[in-house]
Amino acid sequence: MRTRNALGAMGLVAVLTILGACGGSSGSSAGAKSTPTSAAPEVSPAGDISDTQAYVPYSPAAGGYTVSVPEGWARTDQTNGAVFSDKFNSIRIEQTAAATAPTTASVQADVVPQIRAEGGTAIAGASKVTRKGGDAIRITYFQDSAADATTGKKVTLAVERYLFWKNGSLVSITLSAPKGSDNVDPWRTITDGFAWTA
């Protein structure tokens, strides 16, 4: 009888020990689920240009300059340049004749009112910047996008316009993306990729 009771007590202890171990294991498993061991893939906000984006040179048929643009973006040729777009992101490149180089004062007097008339808001004015292809005048502002053809949706765009001038030729590069996008480095790559070829 004593042996049977002793064995029963030992069995109970063993069962309780196993149950305790299972409970601890379950707690550890839940903890593992709440803290994944592998990092989730990074998701870029809408409008952000990927850090792995490749760039290719664009030159107009008439020549005169080249610009680095994102590879794979849709291209629409225009009489004085081209537009490259991807969703609400776009790069508009235009070339016109200009007798004199733009200055911050002339852009403030002539270009800023045009931007305002086109719906530009929060215009930060004009400033001189230096890029690899030379000095440029930069204007920053916000503007509503065109309505999406399918949804009719509009978004507020952050816009930077760069004006490069040489020997009577003015090249305007207008970069736009949804407000809040982090495109500082890609936009620098694009504008640093501008160079005169004639």
pLDDT in tens, 141-171: 999 988 877 888 889 999 999 999 999 999 9
Taking the alpha carbons at both ends of the chain, their separation in whole angstroms is 108
Tell me if 112 is assigned to some domain.
yes
Q: Residue 2, SS3?
A: helix
* Residue carrying structure tokens 């490069």: 164
CATH number at residue 143: 3.40.1000.10
Is 29's pLDDT higher than 60? no
What value does the mean pLDDT take over residues 1-5? 46
Question: Which residue range(s) make up the domain with 63?
Answer: 55-196
Does residue 28 form part of some domain?
Answer: no
Question: How many separate domains does the chain show?
Answer: 1
Q: Where are the beta strands (DSSP E) in 27-168?
A: 55-58, 65-70, 74-78, 81-86, 89-97, 126-131, 134-144, 156-166
Q: pTM score, two decimals?
A: 0.75
pLDDT of residue 38 exceeding 80? no
Residue 132: inside a domain: yes
* Domain presence at residue 45: no
Question: Residue 164 falls within a domain, yes or no?
Answer: yes
Q: Would 6 be classed as within a structural domain?
A: no
Residue 173 located in a structural domain? yes
11 occurs within a structural domain:
no
pLDDT band at 47 (very low <50, low <70, confident <90, very high): confident
